[in-house]
Chain A
């Protein structure tokens, strides 16, 4: 069965510092991995994805994520956090075995302090 874990309910970081939001997953086949962001009173927005290819993927707003197959992780990173990055971040996964069910983590709230 597929699963996603976001071990931190909240991440606090000072503006200008690097940030990491953690995600680990479990799938039967090869993973398709995604990060989405939800700003207050706004819908979920796609940030970046890993389907195949380079393990380091770059996405919107300066975010990037590294796919690590041995550790089954897909951590979201940004070199320098902005106050405007404060939001709720969701990791999601589905596998390539034929199903289309996408599993989302419970979310991590990022708080960037000025």
Chain B
């Protein structure tokens, strides 16, 4: 068990460009979450997958954001036409579910939009 990994750890992009982040959850975890965290705030829920199905998506998530988990293993989060307000830490977490609700977080991808 190597924990949750995220790639890249840092991304600097120009406004208007598209970016894609990857998350590899703990292998036996069927639940996967994406969050966004800005300085001085707690993680903000973006979306949730159970296996390959995206079961919940925040209303705060604009149409520029999309996430996939094609085979129920790794997941990608894409942001199209990035804006400066998208600059944040993007966190991925996974959990077993059932009585094991606790989430295990990856180190995050820090996005800077210039």
Contact = CB atoms under 8 A, between A and B. Distances in A.
B56 A51 contact: no
Interface of A: 4, 32, 34, 36, 42-46, 49, 51, 90, 92, 94, 99-107
Interface of B: 4, 31, 33, 35, 40-45, 48, 50, 55-56, 58, 91, 93, 99, 101-108
Q: Is the interface of A mostly helix, strand, loop or mixed?
A: strand
A73 to B, nearest CB: 17
A110 B23 CA distance: 30
Nearest to B42: A104
Contact of A34 (B40, B48, B91, B102): B102
A61 to B, nearest CB: 15
Contacts of A4: 42
A9 B106 CA distance: 24
B102 A44 contact: no
Contacts of B107: 42-43
Contacts of A105: 42
Contacts of B56: 99-101
6 contacts: A43-B106, A44-B105, A51-B101, A104-B35, A104-B45, A105-B42
A44 B55 contact: no
A113 B50 CA distance: 43
Given A100-B55, A101-B56, A44 B45 contact: no
Given A99-B56, A100-B48, A101-B58, A44 B43 contact: yes
Contacts of B105: 36, 43-45
Nearest to B6: A43
Contacts of A94: 101
Nearest to A100: B48
A51 B40 contact: no
B103 A102 contact: yes
A26 to B, nearest CB: 15
Contacts of A92: 42
